[in-house]
Structure 1
């Protein structure tokens, strides 16, 4: 090979090597620039992620504070199909027992065929919806309060045939509970209000309340039943919130089907609503 050819080959190799080094430097610079850009973009993304986690934690905490409730709606016409007062009473008892077993918070009885404002059929008889409301409320009330809260009525004739619900708030006389249902009594209001809670003695609460009102009394652990130990009336939801105990169901009358959802006492909207027809299909 001639010397001129050798020199040309050496120059070509040198040029190729220079180009390769320049390309490598350009790639390194590009990688550094992209890395810096990614780092800058990652900072706000991380902040957003932390914010989402914080918001999610707050929502979860609020969900824990809001105890879920379950309401069921029953048509009053189910009673109209019963062939006698005794069978109608037994049917209402089965509904009350099912509501207690499944820890239902509210039973809404809607009148599918209301005939008057007060639920009478026109001949002095109660409509099926009003009858069902009366029996459900009677059975949910502890036995020691029923005589004070429910006057004699012909539609209560066969309630003695129904088995007791044995709900947690149906506390017996010899049992002690941190909360008890009671009814306010007449008497001196200078120190408070006397309440019959189904024990050997009436208890004194600090609030001044009108007689004949059903209340939930916080009994605590002090078993002193004298008036020296003053109790306190609390909301009916307190036993459930503090002890996690089921404390019975509420009964609400709705004059029509739309009133089931419109007049709900619960502030939060319903998360899930199921309607069933006679054939058991969900809608």
Structure 2
């Protein structure tokens, strides 16, 4: 009997020590969670607690640029066209452009194209698949772009990989693992994804958000949208903002000297746009517009500026004018909202 009693006591002691050890682990885990202030899902004693800290969404002031599609016609090879488009895209990224508008400003160029799309609009061959294929074949002509791996937002392409019913789609965001999002979408769509941390899960999850949310929520520049306008007038009439652009600027060698505008001397703006002309200038684009009734581009803009006074060359290429103008205007702009909380690398 004695030995059996001793054995029973050891079993009881073992069970007690195991329970105490488990309890100590739970207390330690609770302290760690409180210290880290983790707002995620945690399970303790069978109960589930969900805590999410909402991000503040800020208003931002936007900057758009409009360039004529005819500038690519002057490039005499696919290589030069790709390089030219890359230069303009790079300038847009450097100066944090929110919207780029490509407008058709030369009616002669339109008549040279006999092909029409399904809406009866002229097809711009320089924007068609061969040019796209060439840019893919020649990555050396374009500049790379990247974001931090740990950043909360990503751009991605929806895939056709299967998921469980009600579990959304799988998106390739360029990470080591694909991301499962909250919506069922058809394959091949470009989407903006906000990653949602899931502690202890091997899968990456996220939600589909508007492309404007990363900058509005974090202040990080997130690239620009591209819009096609069939005329100079459509640049303004089809603006994506409810009240249009509240600051319009035209650039021309016949404009007013930009040096006469003091630092931060332009009117306060919410949505500003800068319009560039082609080889023949904005005057030719205005003359070929069938809707606009004004005959002087000065009347079309709030400010009509010469951004490179006393230039040494007879003409300035559009891609050069974009860099020069945005660099000069950067010191003159007076945005209504501050967009400089964070910059993209």
Question: TM-score scaled by structure 2?
Answer: 0.49
**Pick aligned residue for 2:154 from 180, 192, 197:** 180
Are 1:122 and 2:114 an aligned pair?
yes
Partner Cα separation in structure 2 for residue 120 and residue 193 of structure 1: 44
**Pick aligned residue for 1:198 from 167, 174, 178:** 174
Contact (CA 8 Å) 1:195, 1:204: kept in 2 or not? Answer: yes
Q: Deviations over 1:61-101 (max 9, x none)?
A: xxx95311110000111111223222222111110000000
Partner Cα separation in structure 2 for residue 219 and residue 120 of structure 1: 48
Partner Cα separation in structure 2 for residue 94 and residue 111 of structure 1: 20
- Cα distance, 1:160–1:280 mapped onto 2, change above 3 Å: farther
CA RMSD of aligned residues (A): 3.2
Are 1:209 and 2:214 an aligned pair?
no
Q: Which has the higher strand share?
A: 2
Cα offset for 1:164? 2.0
Cα offset for 1:279? 5.6
- Cα distance, 1:88–1:278 mapped onto 2, change above 3 Å: farther
- Cα distance, 1:113–1:194 mapped onto 2, change above 3 Å: same
User: Which of 1 and 2 has greater Rg?
Assistant: 1
If asked which structure has higher relative contact order (CA below 8 Å, sep 6+), I would say 2
Number of the residue aligned with 1:84: 77
Contact (CA 8 Å) 1:80, 1:128: kept in 2 or not? Answer: no
Number of the residue aligned with 2:38: none
Q: Deviations over 1:90-137 (max 9, x none)?
A: 1111100000000000000001236899x992379xx896636x7xxx
Partner Cα separation in structure 1 for residue 71 and residue 108 of structure 2: 16
Number of the residue aligned with 2:134: 157
**Pick aligned residue for 2:94 from 95, 98, 101:** 101
Contact (CA 8 Å) 2:155, 2:191: kept in 1 or not? Answer: yes
Partner Cα separation in structure 2 for residue 220 and residue 120 of structure 1: 51
What pairs up with 1:1-283 in 2 under 5 angstroms?
65-113=58-106, 121-122=113-114, 131=126, 153-158=130-135, 159-166=138-145, 170-171=146-147, 175-188=149-162, 190=165, 191-222=167-198, 226-227=202-203, 230-277=205-252, 283=304
Contact (CA 8 Å) 1:85, 1:155: kept in 2 or not? Answer: no
Partner Cα separation in structure 1 for residue 125 and residue 201 of structure 2: 38
- Cα distance, 1:83–1:176 mapped onto 2, change above 3 Å: same
Question: TM-score scaled by structure 1?
Answer: 0.59
- Cα distance, 1:153–1:207 mapped onto 2, change above 3 Å: same
Q: Deviations over 1:11-55 (max 9, x none)?
A: xxxxxxxxxxxxxxxxxxxxxxxxxxxxxxxxxxxxxxxxxxxxx
Q: Deviations over 1:178-204 (max 9, x none)?
A: 110011111335121111111122111
- Cα distance, 1:155–1:247 mapped onto 2, change above 3 Å: closer
Partner Cα separation in structure 1 for residue 236 and residue 97 of structure 2: 16
Contact (CA 8 Å) 1:79, 1:129: kept in 2 or not? Answer: no
